[in-house]
Amino acid sequence: MNIELKEISVRELTNGYKDNNDDGVIGFGGKLDIRPPYQREFVYDVKERNAVINTLQKNFPLNVMYWAVRDSSASSAQELEVIDGQQRTISICQYVNGDYSIDGLAFHNLPKDKQEQILEYKLMVYFCSGTDSEKLDWFETINIAGKVLTEQELRNAVYSGSWVSDAKRYFSKNSRPKIGDEYLNGSANRQEYLEKAIDWISEGKIKEYMSKNQFEPNANELWLYFQSVINWVKVTFPKYRKEMKGIEWGTLYNIYKNDKLDAKVLEEEITQLMLDEDVSNKKGIYYFVLNRKEKHLSIRTFSEKQKREAYERQKGICVKCGEKFELNEMEADHITPWHEGGKTAADNCQMLCKHDNRIKSGK
């Protein structure tokens, strides 16, 4: 990994500045991609933005920035891209460009000497070049503090190219098709929707998938897959509930997409489970109705009072082995199992020694 510290003047940075909206933002004589496809949208508020300019005007030091030197094989007119410092950079460029004013004074309203002072201000910039893995390690290091990049934004930095640009069109931009948002946690702008889609299609091998597709002309495969997942969810579970947000739908789709599932039967069971007070994890119901694993439901446990009552009733004797134990050596168990209709109630509680209970539970 090669890391070189350089001084870049505001004059050099803002030379050739252009904001082409969704098509990107460039500066530094057209050589710097200020807002690469993976970067967050501009989120500084007025106070933060103005603080950047005040720092320049007072000749106070501004936090160091990081630019990546792009691979010469990448299909881009820009040789460099901003990795850390995008919002400071845009704040500076917009002010010099006359896009906003501070206390009623735009850049062009300032006296010539004040303009020159800003333009000659030296920014400290690290130019970073190296292999993909080296850059990813470095980016993770420099984003420990502050308004950090998400893990997916870091990956997008490493595997930037035509594929990421097209994927953002579907999963990140404000103008993206609003498909599946109600089933996803996180933020589209922070690349979390994109991350989830890649995670699903790659079955957890996100970096491998992105590396393989980095210079593909489009992300059609990912977009078609994601639509298939959402359509499967809507057909299989047509009644939407808030508990459906954030479920690993792609993982379930990958496993059960070819099963002949009856949406009506599933809905009837889901309704019953939603009303069952012993089911603590309502979100887990959607996993349970497909794989029948009770662990997803977090069945309500017996209270300490119920355990004590059962222990005293049994006089400390384990109902399986007939041996006597201290209370802390025993565990509560349903006499009639939950899946057979047994409730987590005092009259359905029995105490087993830990050994017998774990044998019975298959633990």
Q: How many Cβ atoms are within 10 Å of 192's Cβ, its own excluded?
A: 19
CB < 8 Å & 24+ apart, contacts of 100-107: 100/49, 102/50, 102/53, 102/54
Average pLDDT (281-287) is 95
Place of tokens 């300490």: 304
Of the candidates 134, 160, 186, which is a domain's last residue?
160
Beta pairing partners, 11: none
Sheet holding 80-84, edge to edge: 2-9, 122-129, 65-69, 80-84, 32-33, 25-27, 18-19
Q: Is residue 138 pLDDT above 90, yes or no?
A: no
Average pLDDT (39-61) is 84
Place of tokens 């355990």: 307
Q: How confident is the model at residue 355 (pLDDT cuts 50, 70, 90)?
A: very high
Q: Which of 26-30, 76-80, 162-166, 232-236 has the lowest mean pLDDT?
A: 76-80
Q: Are residues 97 and 187 in the same domain?
A: no
Beta pairing partners, 125: 6, 65
Q: What would the pLDDT profile of 319-341 be if each residue is shown by its tens digit?
A: 999 999 999 999 999 999 888 88
- DSSP summary character for residue 172: T
Average pLDDT (340-356) is 90
Q: How far apart are CA 212 and CA 117, in angstroms?
A: 47
Task: Name which of 128, 106, 104 is nearest 118 in CA terms.
Answer: 106
Radius of gyration of the chain (CA): 29
How many domains does the chain divide into?
Answer: 4
Over pLDDT 70: what percentage of the chain?
90
Q: Is residue 247 pLDDT above 70, yes or no?
A: yes
Q: Is residue 21 pLDDT above 90, yes or no?
A: no
| 168: containing domain | 161-259
Classified as helix, coil or strand, 344 is coil
Average pLDDT (54-82) is 80
Q: Are 130 and 69 in contact (CB under 8 A)?
A: no
Of the candidates 125, 160, 195, which is a domain's last residue?
160
Q: Are residues 230 and 271 in the same domain?
A: no
Which of 40 and 357 is assigned the larger pLDDT? 357
Average pLDDT (116-121) is 96
Residue 323 maps to which CATH number?
1.10.30.50
Q: Is residue 292 pLDDT above 70, yes or no?
A: yes
Q: Is residue 129 pLDDT above 90, yes or no?
A: no
Give just the sign of the alpha carbon dihedral 69, 70, 73, 79. negative
Q: How confident is the model at residue 146 (pLDDT cuts 50, 70, 90)?
A: very low
Of the candidates 132, 160, 188, which is a domain's last residue?
160
Tokens of 269: 């069971």
Q: Are residues 141 and 193 in the same domain?
A: no
Average pLDDT (56-80) is 78
Tokens of 277: 């007070």
Q: Are residues 207 and 104 in the same domain?
A: no
Q: Are residues 337 and 348 in the same domain?
A: yes
Q: Are 329 and 311 in contact (CB under 8 A)?
A: no
Q: How far apart are CA 23 and CA 261, in angstroms?
A: 44
Average pLDDT (10-34) is 89
Q: Are residues 167 and 155 in the same domain?
A: no
Q: Are residues 23 and 98 in the same domain?
A: yes
Over pLDDT 90: what percentage of the chain?
60
Query: Environment class of residue 241 by beta-carbon count within 10 Å: exposed (0-12), middle (13-18) or buried (19+)?
Result: middle
Q: Are residues 219 and 103 in the same domain?
A: no
In this prediction, residue 143 carries a pLDDT of 59
- 338 — phi, psi (to 5°)? -55, -40
Q: Are residues 185 and 92 in the same domain?
A: no
Tokens of 288: 């349970």
Q: How confident is the model at residue 174 (pLDDT cuts 50, 70, 90)?
A: confident
Tokens of 146: 């502050």
Q: How far apart are CA 308 and CA 133, in angstroms?
A: 56
Q: Are 278 and 338 in contact (CB under 8 A)?
A: yes
Task: Name which of 195, 151, 155, 153 is nearest 35 in CA terms.
Answer: 153
Average model confidence (pLDDT) across the chain: 88
Q: Is residue 266 pLDDT above 90, yes or no?
A: yes
Average pLDDT (15-28) is 85
Q: What would the pLDDT profile of 75-92 be if each residue is shown by its tens digit?
A: 455 688 887 888 899 999
Which of 226 and 135 is assigned the larger pLDDT? 226
Q: Which of 39-48, 158-167, 224-233, 281-290 has the lowest mean pLDDT?
A: 39-48
Q: Are residues 38 and 99 in the same domain?
A: yes
